[in-house]
Structure 1
Amino acid sequence: MRNNKKLILAGLLIAGSLLTINGQANTVQAKSYGKAVTKIAGNGNYAIYHNVSSKGPSGKFTSTKYFKHGQIQSKESRSTRKGTFWKIIVDGRNVGWVSEKFFARNQISVANEVSLVKNSDYSFPTRDAINYATDAHGTAINPNKVHVSRKYVSTNPDKVTYSYGKAKAEVNIDVHDGDMASPSVTPKKGFKTTSTWNGGSKGSSRNWNRAHGYRLETTSNTIKSNGLTLRTRLFQPRFLSLGYGQAGDAMGQVGVIPEGMTVNGGIFTTSLFTSSNSQYGHLVSYNLNALKSKYAAQNLTTMKWSTFKSYAKNIKVSPYIKLGHGQSLGSSSSYIYVLANDNKYNNGPASEEILQIRKSDMKINKIWTFRISDNRYIHNATFVGDDTMYALFHNGGHNCYEYWKLTRDGDTWNATEVGATEGRFISNSPVQGFAYGDGHFFIGFNDNIFKVSENGSAQKHYRFNTKREIEGMSATGSRLYVQFAQRAELTSGKF
């Protein structure tokens, strides 16, 4: 009989019931979630424990200081005498129990500043300024559920307020006049038009296929063409979160679709989406100065605990933010820049958003809009430092590629055409990457990269045979970085 009572008691404790034994009240209110919720870290450091009982936590073994910039999820919480604790999953790996005080509760984080160029043909969606919103437990709330005092701003300045429950924030949105530019450069003779395969990747890395069970990669690649040799620098994890179908909200899954990337000062940042149709996703930054291995990052969930702590500290995941197509990235020593454009918008007078994101915490710091002219919508761009952007314009009707340099003067991005190249380059594939380095532009397509001078003169055509999509390019000095899909792989080489 005594044993049966113990079994009943254990079951009630798990269910979160209030029990009285010999006049003593013991409370363990446990909540389990079928799918994981997304948690947002606060600023403080807290202990992480192996266990939680009605009396509180026990078995302290590490600190949140290693994990506060990772992707944090949870499927379980418990209310105890010492407060509520959540069992956290970081970058897809089970970690331990932490106090709810660790999370950013009842908070809305927004960009510090938004500066728009006046444009009656475009309205800025004010929710684009949201980094995250949380409820009373530090659980992330979909930005669409946040109340905004004004959904769009176009031609007049305004102060926009954001609210969700007890959480509140505001941002001043400035609107200013901007000058438009016109093409002025005679296009240089281009390359002979060629073709490639179109659509998604037709091939994969050695093990990223059904025949090999999508195993981890253990051998580097060397990809050569016309004097350019690209070698593996980093194979990336498939997810920086729990995998398919395990997240209970849109903010949870990090991966699996990469779109763009940038490298600066040893910090490699890539954009990741759950769907090719989504304009919201995550940025993930890897500190290549600390992550020396080409292979280990694939193995976050099973690597040694001490190694995981080191890796988690050197991998940062942004909140779920507006990234547009996410293909056009750049970076400086302190910031990541994103041209958050709409790749489904062909050409026209709409403005485009530039996001400035802090490397320190992966949150949007500032947003600008710009437009070159009423018929030059940019789909590909890269950034050189904090005040210079190079933009690529191509439209089939113009039969040439135009290269524009935009420099920032205060909050205004002024455009000047610096070069142009005749032709289509590739007849049946969209541009997959655009980079600028050491006075050269690089334009990437599926298995093809074209190198042109700053004035548009054709220089080299690199043709590969990987059958894998190029998912962004970046150049630093004389080194070109190229990211390939399936499995996501960062390569680099000197040009």
Structure 2
Amino acid sequence: MSLVKSVSLVNDTVDSAGFNTDDAINYVTDKHGSVVDNGLVKKSIDRISEEKPGHWLVTYRYGKAYGKVPVTVRGNAREGITKASVKPGKGGNVGKTWFPIELAFRGSYSAQFFPHTYWGTDKKGKKAAKLTTKFYEPNSLSLLAGSEETNVRTNVQGLDVYGQDMVTTNFYGGSRASLDNSRGHVILYHLNKVPTYALQYMPTQTLNFYAWKSYAANMKVSPYIKLGHGQSLGSTSRYIYELANWNRAKKPRSNELLQIDKKTMQVNRIWTFAVSNGSRKYNRYFLNADVIDDNTVVALFHNKSKQRYEFWKIVRRGNSFQAKETAAVSGNLISNSSQVQGFTYNVAYKCYYIAFNDYLFKISAEGNLENFYHFNAKREVEGLASYKSKIYIAMNKRAEVLDSNMTK
């Protein structure tokens, strides 16, 4: 049995969900070493409300396996209450994209033998951004069909890059990412050891054993852990962070942040935090976020009622969080309410990038729309990352990572 070390929850009087104690489980195995369904694990508490401060010691049992996790609801009821008062920069509604259901051609799961190149035209109509294939991902990393807990498929929803480490969130099926409390696997790739085409043949017999072994040695896979929608992914030299929020939540919730150790690929700690404009009634629930360092999250909030995007900096101090709105951009950017498919903050150029299907927007630190790039890939974007001067974009069917050198 593997459990997180600790859980620290924000005191959120309007949180409608509370903390699901299943989230603290990395994995549980039976006497044969096989992973079991978390529903078979007996817990002393199923769900903990964030409405009142307190301390709990949650116990977990399966057969002879036993573990416990300390859970705290913090005492400061005003933590994260601030003001969304930044004057928005110049943006607008400059494009219209498609929804996946509308698209007749969405690529193929078949192995690819050539790289893709997609040119993005900027606001002046010039070719200004070039995406090229970095590598094609495997369809699966599992030899046998197995259960959802053990079958590692690469239905990618998000990615991040730090140095030569690239991490992706992966689900058993694409629709799983839109379920409440959804779980999946995180895969870590060493970019400097990743072949462009060969991973497509894992785990088939097309690769000989020694080639398969050498590629697998440069990858790590997490257990079947809580991921939420999977598009709010960030990483540092030691940890991976996932903001495990549900993209279809209708009622107020706090934001759940997971810290995953790169060495073990298991969830180490869990926090929840709230960001509220004036009162808890106006909570910001983030569906897209990036991580700057082990204490700093940059998050994107689409304020539909005011037709703007807000950029928030959330800083962790110990187990508490402080939030500040750093910028905002006017308009919805895309005019037909298509969802954001990726978000990243570029530290080198101090700007934000927001991805939609076939569109990439560059927003200055002050919130002004500096440029946008319109591609014609006709493939769904499944995550966006940046490291130094490079941008990385994941696309589906087949799962592929592309990169581009972006100019300042």
TM-score under structure 1 normalisation? 0.74
Q: Contact 1:222–1:231 at 8 Å: present in 2 too?
A: yes
Counterpart of 1:181 in structure 2 is 82
In 2: Cα distance, 1:157 partner to 1:480 partner: 43
Q: Is the 8 A contact 1:349 1:371 kept in 2?
A: no
Residue of structure 1 in register with 2:335 after alignment: 427
C-alpha distance in structure 1 between counterparts of 2:227 and 2:385, whole Å: 18
In structure 2, how many angstroms separate the alpha carbons of the residues matched to 1:451 and 1:461?
6
Aligned partner of 1:372 in structure 2 is 275
For 1:84, the equivalent position in structure 2 comes to none
Partner-residue secondary structure (3-state), 1:289: helix
- Determine helix, strand or coil for the equivalent of 1:193: strand
Which residue of structure 1 aligns with residue 200 of structure 2?
A: 298
Name the counterpart of 2:139. 238
What residue number does 2:6 align with? 113
2:34 is aligned, of 109, 130, 139, to 139
Q: Summarize deviations over 1:295-324 as a string: whole Å, max 9, x none.
A: 111112221211111111111111111100
Is the CA contact (8 Å cut-off) linking 2:110 and 2:398 kept in structure 1? no
Distance 1:118 1:157 in 2: 12
Aligned residue runs from structure 1 range 382-421, under 5 A: 382-421=290-329
Other structure's SS at 1:330 match: strand
Deviation at 1:184, TM superposition (A): 1.5
Residue 183 of structure 2: aligned partner: 280
**What residue in structure 1 maps to residue 258 of structure 2?**
355
Asked if 1:258 is matched to 2:151, the reply is no
Is 1:340 the equivalent of 2:244? Answer: yes
Match of 1:447 in 2: 358
8 A contact 1:202–1:468 mirrored in 2: no
Summarize the Cα distance change of 1:134–1:475 in structure 2 as closer, same or farther, 3 Å threshold.
Answer: same
Rounded to whole Å, the distance in 1 between the matches of 2:311 and 2:4 is 30
Aligned pair count reads: 376
Which residue does 1:167 correspond to in 2?
A: 65
> 2:95 aligns to what?
194
Cα deviation digits, residues 130-169 of structure 1 (max 9, x gap): 0000110111011121111111123321111111000011
SS at match of 1:441: strand
Q: Cα distance, 1:204 vs. partner?
A: 4.2
1:488 aligns with 2:399: yes
Q: Which residue of 2 aligns with 1:10?
A: none
Aligned to 1:127: 22
Q: What is the alpha-carbon distance in structure 1 between the residues aligned to residue 350 and residue 293 of structure 2? A: 14
- Secondary structure at 1:144 match in 2: helix
| 2:82 aligned counterpart, secondary structure | coil
User: Aligned residue for 1:203?
Assistant: 105
- Residue 250 of structure 1: how far off its partner (Å): 2.6
Amino acid at match of 1:328: S
Instruction: Provide structure 1 residue ranges, at least 5 long, that are not aligned to the other structure.
Output: 1-107, 209-213
- Work out whether residues 195 and 427 of structure 1, in 8 Å CA contact, stay in contact via their aligned partners in 2: yes
Distance in 2 between the 1:482 and 1:391 partners? Answer: 18
Residue 23 of structure 2 aligns to a residue whose secondary structure is helix
The aligned counterpart of 1:56 is none
Once residues 270 and 306 of structure 2 are traced to their aligned partners in structure 1, the CA distance between those partners, rounded to angstroms, is 30
Contact in 2 for aligned 1:202/1:467 (Cα 8 Å)? no
Q: What does 1:11-26 align with in structure 2 at a 5 Å threshold?
A: none
User: 3-state DSSP class of the match of 2:345?
Assistant: strand
Structure 1 segments (4+ residues) deviating >3 Å? 200-205
SS of corresponding position for 1:119? coil
Q: Distance in 2 between matches of 1:179 and 1:338?
A: 19
1:470, distance to aligned residue in structure 2 (A):
0.5
**Alpha-carbon offset, residue 485 of structure 1:** 0.7
**Secondary structure of the residue that 1:384 maps to in structure 2?**
strand
- Please give the root-mean-square deviation of Cα atoms over the aligned residues, in Å: 1.5
- Residue 381 of structure 2 corresponds to residue 470 of structure 1: yes
What percent identity do the matched residue pairs reach? 41
- Aligned with 1:219 (options 106, 110, 114): 114
CA distance in 2, matches of 1:440, 1:145: 46
Q: Which sits farther off after the overlay, 115-124 or 357-366?
A: 115-124
1:14 counterpart residue number:
none
Instruction: Name the counterpart of 1:436.
Output: 345
Cα gap change, 1:482 to 1:385, in 2 (>3 Å): same
Contact 2:137 2:154 in 1 (8 A): no
Instruction: Return the offset for 1:351.
Output: 0.7
State the one-letter code of the partner of 1:435. Answer: T
TM-superposed CA distance for 1:121, in Å, is 2.8
Kindly state the Cα deviation for residue 179 of structure 1 after the two structures are TM-superposed: 3.3
Distance in 2, Cα, partners of 1:296 & 1:271: 20
Report if the CA contact (8 A) 1:142-1:250 is conserved: no
Segments of structure 2 that go 5 or more residues without pairing to the other structure are: 123-127
Give the SS at the match of 1:310: helix
C-alpha spacing 1:433/1:274, structure 2 compared with 1 (3 Å): same
Q: Say whether 1:316 aligns with 2:220.
A: yes
CA positional deviation for 1:230? 1.4
Structure 2 CA distance, aligned partners of 1:242 and 1:124? 35
SS state of the match for residue 218, structure 1?
A: coil
Deviation at 1:326, TM superposition (A): 0.6
- 2:186 maps to a residue whose letter is L
Q: Which residue of 1 aligns with 2:130?
A: 229
The residue aligned with 2:48 is: 153
CA distance in 1, matches of 2:42, 2:14: 25
* Distance (whole Å) between structure 2 residues aligned to residue 370 and residue 182 of structure 1: 16
- Contact 2:80–2:273 (8 Å) recurs in 1: no
